[in-house]
Structure 1
């Protein structure tokens, strides 16, 4: 069993992470120094180096911890015995949790998903979405013959679309609730954007 981290250490690391995110938002990662970070966090450099080797180590660990929390919070392993009606207008609880987790760390996600130096973070968030969508599609329609396009193309299409909408939501300062966002994205993925489907025929 892992030892619980000292609350003072947690607070210090959170202060440094918050300072990094704020400065990246204001001036970009490249133009941010360790001195800038410690000044913003009102901590000294010695304290910084007790926790991180350099600013990249802070960036890397912050992104890894955030991704770990995201994966943990939405519990990606679907319960095999669970019965969920994906055709209803109610979003899956896991999807709501995903938006709630992003909402709770909105500034970090907004910066990390739009910072040009962080393709790894964006790729990992995409992997989380791919996993969720794959499992959802398997529940709705496990038969590949009943899909209009290859499954892997559909999964990637929806994951990329979801990620784009998440970034938009963050950039607009989250004008809708996590549940509303989860509801709309599940609806468009399963039913499409059109009320009148008569033009399909």
Structure 2
């Protein structure tokens, strides 16, 4: 019996989520009401309150779930492994997994990052990338950087977050594997190589497998 109840609860939450998504696309976050959502989902208000306190609580729960699913992949990034994959002309698996998570939640992220969404949520992801990806580059920073380290972090965070956003907004025509390969190459070789303005560096003997 509990399994049947769990399936029913899951189905109800999915109906509420679908209703939320359609309303976010139409009218944005600011003016959403419980009545709007329950009418669209064709469930009663009491059912809504079994899962959420109100609309802000529903949004926060979903935002936290989506953020955590992406964060769990981001924290596994290892730049040495990414560079080794780039040298072999292979997509870095963790980068691919991150794009897969973005693809899984693309509709919600697009709504949240859009003009009718919640810009603070986009800032939350930018902070995640800065703190948990590029801060890992501090493991052995050169002492004679041409640009201050914090500016490099800001540039790379904005560039790669912009790449993710463009992929979602343009309809995700490329696969997560293709996007993972693009990001790996840009991070490892830089935009000038990606543009074709400079030649791809040859693989050094130290990076070749022994």
Q: Report the TM-score, using the length of structure 2 for normalisation.
A: 0.78
1:6-45 residue pairs with structure 2 within 5 A?
6-45=6-45
Q: CA deviation at 1:62?
A: 0.9
Q: CA deviation at 1:117?
A: 4.8
When residues 186 and 196 of structure 1 are mapped into structure 2, their CA distance, relative to the original with a 3 A threshold, is same
Q: State the distance in 1 between where 2:78 and 2:188 align.
A: 21
In the alignment, what sits opposite 1:197?
198
In the alignment, what sits opposite 1:132?
133
Pair 1:51-2:45 in alignment: no
Pair 1:166-2:181 in alignment: no
Q: State the distance in 1 between where 2:70 and 2:151 align.
A: 24
Q: Gaps spanning 5+ residues in structure 1: where? A: none
Q: State the distance in 1 between where 2:177 and 2:135 align.
A: 20
8 Å CA contact retained: 1:144, 1:151: no
Q: Rg: which structure is higher? A: 2
Q: State the distance in 2 between where 1:178 and 1:86 align.
A: 15
Q: CA deviation at 1:96?
A: 0.9
When residues 153 and 35 of structure 1 are mapped into structure 2, their CA distance, relative to the original with a 3 A threshold, is same
Give the SS at the match of 1:29.
coil
Query: How big is each residue's C-alpha offset from its partner over 1:112-170, in whole Å with a ceiling of 9 and x where there is no partner?
Result: 111455233212211332212333x357xx22325332222212211111111222211
8 Å CA contact retained: 2:86, 2:92: no
When residues 78 and 184 of structure 1 are mapped into structure 2, their CA distance, relative to the original with a 3 A threshold, is closer
Q: Report the TM-score, using the length of structure 1 for normalisation.
A: 0.81
Residue-pair matches, total: 190
Q: State the distance in 1 between where 2:180 and 2:166 align.
A: 14
Q: State the distance in 1 between where 2:105 and 2:159 align.
A: 21
Give the SS at the match of 2:191.
coil
Q: State the distance in 2 between where 1:7 and 1:127 align.
A: 36
Query: How big is each residue's C-alpha offset from its partner over 1:37-68, in whole Å with a ceiling of 9 and x where there is no partner?
Result: 11222211110111111111111111011111
Aligned-pair Cα RMSD in Å: 2.7
8 Å CA contact retained: 2:112, 2:121: yes
1:147-166 residue pairs with structure 2 within 5 A?
147-166=145-164
Q: CA deviation at 1:186?
A: 2.4
